[in-house]
Structure 1
Amino acid sequence: MHFFSGKESSMQHFTSSGIVLRRRRTAKEMWKYRHYYILLLPALLFFVFFHYVPMAGVILAFKDFSYAKGIFGSEWVGLEHFRRLFGSASFYEVLGNTLIISFYRIAFVFVSPIIFALLLNELRNVRFKRFVQTISYLPHFISWVVLGGIIMELLSPTRGVVNYFIKLLGFEPIYFLSSNDHFRGVLIVSDIWQSVGWGSIIYLAAIAGINPDQYESASIDGATRWQMAFRITLPSILPTVVILFIFQLGGIMHAGFDQIFNLYNPSVYKVADIIDTYVYRIGLVNLDYDYTTAVGLFKNVVGFILVILANVVTGRIREGEYRLW
């Protein structure tokens, strides 16, 4: 008995000593790199105050909000708002629009920067390559308020450049932004225009990290530029593509509020009204805060589950090489 108790006490002492040593080592490393942590502090504070502290307001989804009583003093109603949510036909239409537009973005907008980066990598004229990169980056720095006005002018049925050429070809002008058949296409094309250059930066950085010896060996073996792009470049940047795809999948319930809000109108609500615009209209315009909090909570829970599932699935590929954690 005394032997085992002494052994256990020595093991506990060893374990506690190891913990103390690790803590000291961690504290020493943090002090060593304290300047980097100071630089990181503003970003951490931003996330704490604007992403984590507001999460306390999630309880609105389970309360009957009263302005007089406030958030914490309002009465609990449990899952009443969620019953209203899943019993509303308009919500299912909004959810369908969100998913369809998000899948379009994954299929076209997500893939476009990858293709653009591969094409830029094949350019041999350095000046022309930099010129193309600069031009492609510019739309990213313009807000959707301004871009929305530009797109409206370009697609105007009376004075727009696009409809001018359509009329020259002998066709009737198309009301792009008021047509249920064309509005989603406008969203995707304009989103590609706005994001393709900026989105290609991370892929170009990944391509720059590829060992040039691989291309030299392939060239000696007689491989064409096309074969090197698909046999060397694309597989080498695949981990980056998978990680960004997981992020994209996690934001599948965010179909692009800024863009849609600045382009849509009541005539295209049937195909353009997404969860974010629905929450804005019902929550901020109609002041139905508790119900729209339930909608937002549902959206974020679905996004969280999708990130976890995507990470699990991709983690099974090549012994977890493509996992986030």
Structure 2
Amino acid sequence: MTQVTSEPADAGASPRPDEAIVLSQSLFRAVAGAVRGKDDVIRLSLVALLAGGHLLVEDLPGTGKTLLAKSLAAALGGRFGRVQCTPDLLPTDITGTSVYSPADGSWTFRPGPLFANVLLVDEINRASPRTQSALLEPMEEHQVTVDGVTHRLPDPFFCVATQNPHGQIGTFPLPESQLDRFALVLSMGMPDRSAEREILTGQGGQDAYASLSPVADPAQVAAAVGAVHRVYCAPALVEYVLDLTAATRVHPDLTVGASPRASVGLMQAARAHAVVSGRGHVTPDDVQAVVGPAFAHRVSVGGVVDTTAGRAVIADVVARTAVPRP
């Protein structure tokens, strides 16, 4: 677990947050060329990436969830893996498996789509709980153990999962342990009329995605993730994060509040949001912009995880919590 610090990093160390700022701007422009009218969603997707976490995008089919994930992968460069989840999908279909060679009697590991810089897990809640559990170790520890042998994943490793609303035919709810692996949970929403017109006329959507070229490479992205750890967060803002976390644990509408892991994730997401916003230091606005997506899937409303209701309660927590002065 990453330790929350409030001291600025050594000015002579590398990588630098300003380089991550430039990279985030390039990534934003590239993805926004295909995903029209969703600037806030794209920014928060980059926040999840630069925070070193993973992203869950939920909404109805046809709203652009897969396009967002594919556009992020295309802009990032590196290796791309995709898993289309179905109820009969097996864990080895994701992780890979060991294959026996009769010629010399040896076993050879053949990696699955998991071994990628960007992994798209499409419709994750259509996979069975057993198959979903195959992602727990990779998402937390960036490694996978198959037949007793541990294999490291590429750096960076960014999982983008999409899910359909609960209750649709053939879906399985994600357990809390799986949800907790995601740094942020977002909802796409419907595009406005102007954005939908651009999609219909070929200025966005799949037509724009087809011509999208990488604007980075894995080494640059890994360096940018490291730079986010150097973004300065004042002690008062560390206390603000702790205040928000503590408030979720006593809120009458929440049966389970945010965990220490959630507060660490919020801090990292706030740092990443500062970078995406073009700054090398965290402000209260950064914390407020990401606390909903960072906490909504990590709290329990009435004994169940409901991200829509969770966002509403978190908004109430933010409104009731004093904001530190500059």
| TM-score normalised by structure 2 residue count | 0.25
Larger radius of gyration: 1
| TM-score normalised by structure 1 residue count | 0.25
- Name whichever structure is richer in helix by fraction: 1
- Name whichever structure is richer in strand by fraction: 2
